[in-house]
């Protein structure tokens, strides 16, 4: 038994929490996006890996939805004194993670190794694997002709401007994590988490070899739609899809994912679109997908597993 999840940030983190509740955590693996990673003030910050880690550890701040609970902001206050760039808030506790990661990477450790050390320190029994140990960087093209980093668009500008395109700098040269290849190849169930399809799942697929690996096992894969009732629960996935000329609906998601997975799990509010999803080329399963109540994420993980393993 093994359950592998293609993962971005918040949505994937919640899904993974359900998976480790539903199954033996040691059988659960997240293959996580690193294209949002950034070097900030010399520190290597991995937002999606940290969101998954902190959420699985029960240490994520429940109000903000990112970063650690019981956080303080003394370093940012002093940085502000100097007029330093503090648009990306690094809490004092959170800084401990970035200091550790940066030091280990400087020592020559891979991001995979550092991530294993960090998750172990938080007592996680599941695995989080960066999709690659190489640097990929999501670059967002804007309607004002600029191209900026993803976090600058997402956090710095609060995604307040329309996009014209997205590219993943460095992806062509990136090498897929051997551990991730092994996990995916051997996975009983592979789930595309309800993450932003463009900037969370997109960069995973941009790493040479991953898309082929996933497509080759399409019948054993299932995706959970990140779009519910036409909108993203969190983040700009809905707007980004529209701005790139796609449909912000479960049907739009089905068109994106139909070569990757046989089945799309859609929320009950989208029940009427189930047939359209099937027309777009994916089997559809309708069930609660909003993971804000106890048990929803675990039930979702169980259903995904059963779908892919034919139970």
What sections of 141-285 are H helices per DSSP?
A: 150-151, 178-186, 202-206, 210-216, 237-243, 250-257, 274-279
DSSP annotation string for 40-91 = ETTEEE-HHHHHHHHHHTT-B-TTTSSSBTT---HHHHHHHHTT---SS---
We find the least distance from the C-beta atom of residue 15 to a second copy, in angstroms, to be 25
Number of residues interacting with a second copy: please give it, by CB under 8 A: 39
CA of 89: how far to CAs of 80, 82, 83, 156, 215, in Å? 11, 15, 14, 10, 38
Q: Is 43 in the site for a second copy (CB under 8 A)?
A: yes
Q: Which long-range contacts (CB under 8 A, 24 or more apart) does 176-179 make?
A: 176/131, 176/132, 176/207, 176/208, 176/209, 176/210, 176/213, 177/31, 177/112, 177/129, 177/130, 177/131, 177/132, 177/133, 179/112, 179/129
Which listed range, 103-111, 184-192, 203-211, 303-311, lies at the site for a second copy (CB under 8 A)?
103-111
Exactly one of 25, 88, 89, 102 binds a second copy (CB under 8 A); that residue is 102
Pick the binder of a second copy from 2, 21, 25, 41 (CB under 8 A): 41
- Of residues 101 and 139, the one with the C-beta less far from a second copy: 101
Taking the complex as a whole, the smallest distance from the CB of residue 27 to a second copy amounts, in Å, to 25
Per the listing, tokens 């009950």 go with 268
Decide: is 72 part of the binding site for a second copy (CB under 8 A).
yes
Q: Min. distance of Cβ 98 from a second copy in angstroms?
A: 8
Q: What is the DSSP string of 153-169?
A: IIIISTT-S-EEEEEEE
Q: Which is nearer to a second copy, 82 or 310 (CB)?
A: 82
- Is residue 87 close enough to count as binding a second copy by CB under 8 A? no
In whole angstroms, how close is the CB of 132 to a second copy at the nearest point? Answer: 21
Selected from 96, 165, 186, 281, the binder of a second copy by CB under 8 A is 96
Establish if 58 lies at the interface with a second copy (CB under 8 A): no
Binding mask 106-135 for a second copy (x = CB under 8 A): x----------xx--xx-------------
Binding stretches for a second copy (CB under 8 A): 40-44, 68, 71-72, 74-85, 90-100, 102-104, 106, 117-118, 121-122
């Amino acid at each position: 038994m093994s359950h592998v999840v293609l993962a971005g940030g918040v949505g994937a983190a919640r899904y993974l929490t359900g998976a480790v509740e539903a199954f033996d955590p040691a059988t659960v693996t997240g293959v996580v996006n690193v294209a949002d990673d950034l070097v900030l003030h010399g520190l290597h910050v991995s937002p999606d890996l940290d969101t998954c880690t902190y959420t699985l550890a029960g240490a994520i701040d429940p109000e903000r939805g990112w970063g650690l609970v019981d956080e303080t902001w003394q370093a940012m206050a002093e940085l502000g004194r100097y007029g330093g760039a503090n648009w990306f808030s690094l809490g004092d506790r959170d800084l401990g993670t970035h200091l550790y990661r940066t030091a280990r990477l400087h020592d020559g450790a891979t991001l995979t190794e550092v991530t294993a050390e960090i998750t172990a320190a938080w007592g996680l029994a599941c695995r989080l694997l960066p999709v690659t140990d190489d640097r990929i960087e999501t670059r967002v093209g804007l309607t004002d002709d600029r191209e900026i980093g993803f976090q600058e668009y997402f956090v710095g500008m609060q995604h307040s401007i329309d996009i014209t395109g997205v590219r993943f700098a460095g992806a062509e040269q990136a090498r897929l994590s051997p551990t991730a290849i092994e996990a995916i190849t051997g996975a009983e169930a592979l789930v595309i988490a309800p993450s932003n399809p463009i900037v969370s799942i997109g960069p995973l697929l941009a790493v040479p070899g991953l898309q082929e690996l996933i497509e080759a096992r399409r019948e054993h894969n299932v995706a959970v739609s990140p779009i519910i009732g036409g909108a993203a629960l969190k983040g700009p996935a809905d707007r980004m899809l529209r701005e790139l000329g796609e449909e912000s609906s479960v049907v739009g998601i089905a068109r994106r994912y139909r070569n990757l997975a046989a089945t799309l799990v859609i929320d009950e509010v989208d029940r009427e679109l189930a047939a359209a999803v099937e027309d777009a080329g994916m089997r559809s399963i309708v069930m609660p997908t909003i993971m804000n109540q106890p048990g929803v994420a675990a039930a979702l993980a169980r259903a995904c597993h059963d779908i892919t393993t034919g139970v």
